[in-house]
Each structure stands twice: as structure tokens, then as C-alpha cells.
Amino acid sequence: MAVFTQFSHGEIIALWTVMGTAVAGLLYAVMLMAQVLREDTGTAEMQKISGSIRLGANAYLYRQFKTILFLILLITAALYFTAGEKHIAIGRACAFLMGSVFSATVGFVGMNLAVRGNVRVAAAANRRSFGDALKIAYRTGTITGMLTDGLGLFGGTLIFMIYGEKAYEVLLGFGFGGTLLALFMRVGGGIYTKAADVGADLVGKIEKNIPEDDPRNAATIADNVGDNVGDCAGMAADIFESYEVTIVSAMILGWASFGHKGVIFPLLVRAIGVLSSIIGTYAVKAKEEVRDAMKAINIGFILSAIISIIGFTLVGLFYLKFEGKEQLPFWCGLGIAGLDMRPVWTTMVGILLAITVNRLTEYFTDPSKKPVQDIAESCQTGHATNIITGFAVGLESTVWAILVICISILISAFIYQGTNPTFVAYGVAMCGIGMLTLTGNNISMDVFGPVADNANGIGEMAHLNKDARQILADLDAVGNTTKAITKGIAIGSAVVAAISLFNAYITDISAITRQTFDQIASALSVSGPNVFIGLLIGGSIPFLFSSLSIKAVGRAAFLIVKEVREQLKDKLIWEGKKLPDYAKVVSICTAAAQKELIRPGLLAILSPLLVGFLLGKEALGGFLAGMILSGQLLAVFMANAGGAWDNAKKFIEDGNMGGKGSDAHKASVTGDTVGDPLKDTAGPALNPLIKVMNMVALLAIPLVIKYEHSRIVGLGSLAVTVFLIFLLLRDPKIEKEAVKT
């Protein structure tokens, strides 16, 4: 342990300031929590519905944590052996535990607040006003957002303060913990939410012709639980992990490039982000009109962005004084001698990227824009044309998303042109830091979605008055928009984070093999057959992973169909005289999601190891590149196609193209259903996937280098590969007779 010994006086002050800000962020979350919990919880009926949802959601998370506990402990032990020195090994193992516990906490607390917030939002709409309801819903989201900000910053800073120049090896453990947990939350939550949704609809809407959220349908509570498990816990863990991974890679690359300053600067930037998110989110207040809502949220966002930009500039002016003797171009230091503002410029590129990605996502999924309207129009000619048009829209949207990311990376790299490759990589990492500056605001917007959605559901089930119902419906619509928009950021940041991790991977090989960055680079040429093969295999993994999780939804949904049908055979339930056994469906859903987690999870953890041990570190490099590329393409495709189909349905339900009940509407429902597992299961799970595989590669690289020519390890890996392929080829069996309608 080497607390403080390596830091200058000024650095210690800076680090404690960052720590203080992280704690301030957490305190702000606690304050909001108290505010929200103090609100009125509505009628007894509302409380009962909300209580069932809360019970189910908690049951799911407990089971989820229990399932992965063993794996987490196993990996903690394994990590102990990946590091050389003993205190680093202990640190890495502990940091891994801390990362996973933090990620779990963000998900757990976020979800718990969401399931408490929903009923309070409904109550506010019932007894008070639109403005109040909006405020409660938004602030419920902000709690999760600030937890993410605070815990992420706290953990990273703490590790750096304790380990100083060895921090980098420990940080890897921290990042991996968060990422792995996010993967399981995303996959498990994604399967749960869509299995419940599809299962409830197949029996309820299609077979029995009863409305959504009908209390006789045993899957309704599971369906509402799913919204929280997937959109809230899953999303929060996912963004927490991006937030963590970007800071880890920035710190690794910052250390390699600029030493202490390179590490402390991103921490300061993050601290400013926390402050600006506190101010920006607290400023969100709306009057009595719907159109004010989106405006208020946007104003909060822009306010935070402006504060951040000013803050970055100030920190840069005071902190970024380097003593290098080279003459930097004017724009680097604004003409001030010895000033190097380049890290500031790259973070600003990141903020711009975040805003542009938001706009792009909005364009492709907003009902008032051409893509969604094209899809809605194509519903008039039937199911198939709707699917085809949405498919084409999804494919197209990937291109513009990639172009925007490429341009940002290019500018970040351009800012560091003429310097050495680690500096350039640092620039890209800082762009990622900038992109996630406004994480607090983004998560507020995102979690706002399921809270408003649930509040609306409770409002309907508890038969609130018409005015309240209108308020809740309006809130739900706003929530749909904000939720869809933030998906773009989640994916975009995953890619930038993955690219930074990838650069860290190369820096790492370079450190271990004592070769220069250039020497490593030449081994990673796409012209080598191994690298190219790695690229092809890596590119195919997201396809297989998506296929596994989509099929899992189908299988789990069938089980639910069977159970709901069985319960409806009870006359008392069908006549509404007895409540169905909601808990049983929740528990089937939970069990199925856990069981289906195993295969995608193993694929994510094992495939980079196997490629590394069988084909070498160069192939593993190609593998990572290919996987980032196809993961990004698929994730954007699935998110946007799914979002566009969803909104096309809503657009038709608003009375266009014949409105509800028309043939066009039926076709649009098909599109929405197809999009569901894409946008809410497979697509979002790709974000943590690409980072988990990068992390595994980073952690395993010393072992890969050590054993890549070992025959025994090679044969062992071959055996594991055969076993894995065998496992992947055998779909779990389900009882098929459940399917027949």
C-alpha cells in the first residue's frame, strides 16, 4: 500500500476534490431519494399493484445475484492468478468485487427506486399536476444517474489514490467487475422482460382476446416487472459500466502517455461532469403542458453541457501546463506558453458526439420523421412490407451512426497528430470521457421511461380519473422518446470505450513483451492471415450471441404461455373471482432467464480466451477489432429498427393509416413484436458484450503471451472449443406442445 507517497501536494488536493465531488454526487442521490420517498403513494389499490411489481422485481434480482455469485467468486479467485505481484493480485481481485458490487448496486437501487417512484408519479398525476408528476418521474431517474456518476468516480479515484502508478493493473479488475455484471443484467433482464411481454401478449391479446394488463392474465405482473428489470436495472448497469470502462482506459492510456497528469485530468473532467449534472438535472421543471416537458428536459441537458464546457476550459487553463519544450501550434495552447489544451478539445469533441448521436437516434425513431413514417406507410400493404421497410431503415441507420463516430475519432486523433500512438489513443479515450460527461442527465432521461410507463400502467389498472390518465399517457409518450434517444448513447459510448480498451490492449502487449507500440502494431496487421481470421471469427460472435439470446426469448415465452393458459382453465380466475398466481409466472420467468444466461455468458468469456490460446495474440487483436465492428453494426441496427417499428405502431395507433384495429395496425403490431427482442434483448446486450470480451482479452494477455506456443494449453483449448461448439449447437429442449394455438 502506498497511499499518497507518490503524489505532489497539488495532486493530493486535486484527488481529494474529485473524491469530494463523487461523494457530493452520491449525497445528491440520497437527497433526491428522500424527496421521492416522501411523496404520496396513492390509493390502497395503487399500492397493491405497485407492491406486486416490486416483489417480483426484487425476487428476480435476488435470484440473478444468487446465480452469478458463484461465478463472481470463481473469477475473483482466477483474477488473483492473472497478476504477478501479490498485493496487485489482491487489489485486482478486490477491485473486481468492488466493480461488480457497484454495478449491482446501481442496478438494484435504480430499479428499487423505479418501482417505488412509479406509484408516486401516478398519485401525483391523480391528486396534483402534470408538472409534479414529471418532476417525480425525472428525479427518480436522476437518483440512478447520480449513483452511476458517484460510484464510478469514487471507485476509480480510490484505486488510483491507493495504488498510484500500479493502479492500472488494479483498475482492470474494477472495470471487468462492472462489465461482467452488466452483461448478465442485460442478457438476463433482456430475456426476462421480453419473454414476459411476448408470453403475456400471446395468450392474452391474441388467444383470449382480453386487453393488455388484464388482471386475469397471470403474466401481467411479470410483464410490468420486466420493464423495470430490463430498462431500468439492465440499462443502469450497462451505462455504469461504460462510464467505468472509459475512465479505466483513459487512466491506463493517460498513465502511459503523460504520467500523473494524464490520469488526474480525466478524473477532474468527470468531477465537473458530476457537478454539471447535479445542476442540470435539478433545473428540470415543467409547467402544465406536455410540450414543456421535453423542452425542460432538453434545457437541463444543455445547461449541463454548457457548465461542463466552461468547467473543462477552466481546469485546462489552470491544470494543463506541461513543461515540454516543443513548440505547440497556436490552437493547442491558445497562444499561452507551456499550455496544452488538447485534452480539453478532445473532451469537447466527445460532448458534441453525444449530442449528435442523440439527434441521429431521434431522426431514425421519431414518429414525425421520414423513416418511421415510411414504415407506417408500408404497414398498409401488410406484415411483410412493414418488416422489409423497417429492416432497410435499421440497416441504413448503422451507417450514419458509424460515420459520426468515425469523424469524432478522426478529429480526436487529428488533435494529437504528429505525436506518438499512445497520445493519439489517449485523445480517443478522452473523447469517450467527454461523451459520457452527461451520464447523470442521460440516465435520468432513460429511467424516466420505465417509471412513466409503469405509472401509466398503474393508472389504468387502478382506474384513475380521466384527467390523471391523460397526464400519465402524456408522460408515457415523453418517456418513450427519451428512452429511445438514450439507447444511441449507450451503444455509441460502448464502441468508443471498446476502441479505447483495444488501444489499451496494444499498450499492454507492448509493456509485457517490451516491444514498441510500432512493433506490436505491425504484428496486428490485417494483412496477416491470423489477424484476418481473428477478424472474421470475432465478427461472427455478435451474430451468434444475438441468435442465442433471441432464441432464448422464444423458448422462455413458450413456458409462460403454457403456465398462463393452465391458470386460465380455472373458472374462478377466468371470471375474475380469484386472482391468478402472479408469483408463479414471475418465478418461471426468472428461472428461464437464469438458465438461458449460461450459453451467451460462456461464449462471451471463453471465446476471446480460446482465440488467444489457439491462434495467438495477433489473432486475438483481429478478433477484438472484428467483434467491435460487427457488434456496433448489429447493435445500432437492432436498436433503431426496433425503435422505429415500435413508434410506427404508435403513430398508427394515434389514428393514422386507419388507426387502431385496421389491417395496417395489425401489420404494425407484427413489426413491434419482431422489434422487441431485437431492441430490448439482443441489441442492448451487445454493449456489455463487446466490452466484456475486450476486458477478458486485456486480463488474459499475459497468460496468452506466456502460453500461446504451449502444446498442452493448445490441446486443452481445442478440447474446450469442441465442448463449447457442442454446447452452442444444442438448444435447451422445451415442451413443444405448449406452442400449439
**282, 319, 322, 532: which one binds its own copies (CB under 8 A):** 532
Residues in the chain: 741
- For the segment 659-678, give every residue that binds its own copies (CB under 8 A): 663, 669-671, 673-674, 677-678
In degrees, rounded to 5, the angle at the alpha carbon of residue 187 between the alpha carbons of residues 186 and 190 is 75
Site of grid cell 449528435 = 356
What own/partner pairs with CB < 8 Å and gap ≥ 24 does 88-91 have? Answer: 88/163, 88/166, 88/169, 88/170, 91/159, 91/162, 91/163, 91/166, 91/169, 91/170, 91/173
- Do 53 and 117 touch, CB atoms closer than 8 A? no
Question: Smallest distance, Å, CB 733 to its own copies?
Answer: 12
Binding piece for its own copies, criterion CB under 8 A, among 272-280, 296-304, 391-399, 702-710: 391-399
Tell me which DSSP letter residue 436 carries: T
Task: Say which amino acid occupies 87.
Answer: H
Site string for its own copies, 447-486 (x = CB under 8 A): ----------------------------------------
- For the segment 586-615, give every residue that binds its own copies (CB under 8 A): 615
- Do 147 and 110 touch, CB atoms closer than 8 A? yes
Site string for its own copies, 185-204 (x = CB under 8 A): -----------------x--
**Residue 541, interface with its own copies (CB under 8 A)?**
yes
**Residue 516, interface with its own copies (CB under 8 A)?**
no
**625, 648, 652, 699: which one binds its own copies (CB under 8 A):** 625
CB atoms within 10 A of CB 605: 18
Question: Smallest distance, Å, CB 557 to its own copies?
Answer: 8
Number of residues that bind its own copies (CB under 8 A): 88
Please give the Cα distance from 736 to 569 (Å, whole number): 19
Question: Smallest distance, Å, CB 734 to its own copies?
Answer: 11
| DSSP-assigned beta bridge partners for residue 321 | 339
**Residue 630, interface with its own copies (CB under 8 A)?**
yes
Start-end of H helices in 463-524: 466-513, 517-523
CA atoms within 13 A on the CB side of 199: 36
**Residue 724, interface with its own copies (CB under 8 A)?**
no
| Between 271 and 375, CB nearer to its own copies | 375
C-alpha to C-alpha distances, 194 to 177, 451, 527, nearest whole angstrom: 26, 17, 42
Question: Smallest distance, Å, CB 539 to its own copies?
Answer: 4
Phi, psi of 322 (to 5 degrees): -95, 155
What own/partner pairs with CB < 8 Å and gap ≥ 24 does 68-73 have? Answer: 68/181, 68/184, 68/597, 71/601, 72/96, 72/97, 72/100, 72/177, 72/180, 72/181
**Residue 622, interface with its own copies (CB under 8 A)?**
yes
In degrees, rounded to 5, the angle at the alpha carbon of residue 283 between the alpha carbons of residues 282 and 286 is 115
Site string for its own copies, 206-245 (x = CB under 8 A): x---------------------------------------
**Residue 551, interface with its own copies (CB under 8 A)?**
yes
Please give the Cα distance from 594 to 433 (Å, whole number): 33
**Residue 533, interface with its own copies (CB under 8 A)?**
yes
Phi, psi of 321 (to 5 degrees): -95, 105
**Residue 739, interface with its own copies (CB under 8 A)?**
yes
**140, 632, 640, 694: which one binds its own copies (CB under 8 A):** 632
Please give the Cα distance from 656 to 296 (Å, whole number): 28
Site of grid cell 389514428 = 655
| Between 251 and 375, CB nearer to its own copies | 375
**9, 324, 527, 661: which one binds its own copies (CB under 8 A):** 527
**Residue 41, interface with its own copies (CB under 8 A)?**
no
**242, 246, 389, 437: which one binds its own copies (CB under 8 A):** 389
C-alpha distance across the termini of the chain, in Å: 65
In degrees, rounded to 5, the angle at the alpha carbon of residue 584 between the alpha carbons of residues 580 and 590 is 140
- For the segment 98-127, give every residue that binds its own copies (CB under 8 A): none
| Between 404 and 586, CB nearer to its own copies | 404
**22, 196, 445, 550: which one binds its own copies (CB under 8 A):** 550
| Between 322 and 363, CB nearer to its own copies | 363
| Between 22 and 393, CB nearer to its own copies | 393
CB atoms within 10 A of CB 327: 9
Question: Smallest distance, Å, CB 657 to its own copies?
Answer: 9
| Between 464 and 638, CB nearer to its own copies | 638
Tell me which DSSP letter residue 43 carries: -
**129, 298, 419, 540: which one binds its own copies (CB under 8 A):** 540
Question: Smallest distance, Å, CB 543 to its own copies?
Answer: 5
Question: Smallest distance, Å, CB 704 to its own copies?
Answer: 16
Please give the Cα distance from 393 to 640 (Å, whole number): 8
| Between 334 and 739, CB nearer to its own copies | 739
| Between 95 and 548, CB nearer to its own copies | 548
- Cβ burial of 364 (10 Å; 0-12, 13-18, 19+) is buried
Question: Smallest distance, Å, CB 731 to its own copies?
Answer: 8
Please give the Cα distance from 431 to 91 (Å, whole number): 28
**17, 129, 385, 419: which one binds its own copies (CB under 8 A):** 385
Question: Smallest distance, Å, CB 208 to its own copies?
Answer: 14
**Residue 573, interface with its own copies (CB under 8 A)?**
no
C-alpha to C-alpha distances, 614 to 510, 619, 719, nearest whole angstrom: 20, 9, 11
**Residue 503, interface with its own copies (CB under 8 A)?**
yes
Site string for its own copies, 680-719 (x = CB under 8 A): ----------------------------------------
| Between 29 and 404, CB nearer to its own copies | 404
| Between 151 and 588, CB nearer to its own copies | 588
| Between 51 and 382, CB nearer to its own copies | 382
Please give the Cα distance from 254 to 156 (Å, whole number): 13
Question: Smallest distance, Å, CB 537 to its own copies?
Answer: 6
**528, 574, 584, 714: which one binds its own copies (CB under 8 A):** 528
Q: 584's torsion region: left (phi>0), alpha (psi -120 to 50) or beta?
A: alpha
**31, 162, 388, 583: which one binds its own copies (CB under 8 A):** 388
- Do 583 and 54 touch, CB atoms closer than 8 A? no
Site of grid cell 495504488 = 163
Site of grid cell 411479470 = 222
Please give the Cα distance from 684 to 642 (Å, whole number): 11
**Residue 65, interface with its own copies (CB under 8 A)?**
no
**35, 129, 298, 380: which one binds its own copies (CB under 8 A):** 380
SS3 284: coil
| Between 71 and 395, CB nearer to its own copies | 395
- For the segment 392-421, give every residue that binds its own copies (CB under 8 A): 392-393, 395-396, 398-399, 402-403, 405-406, 409-410, 413, 421
| Between 299 and 724, CB nearer to its own copies | 724
Binding piece for its own copies, criterion CB under 8 A, among 309-317, 332-340, 387-395, 572-580: 387-395
- For the segment 276-305, give every residue that binds its own copies (CB under 8 A): none
Question: Smallest distance, Å, CB 545 to its own copies?
Answer: 9
Q: What are the DSSP E strand ranges found in 236-317? A: none
C-alpha to C-alpha distances, 5 to 1, 12, 256, nearest whole angstrom: 10, 10, 20
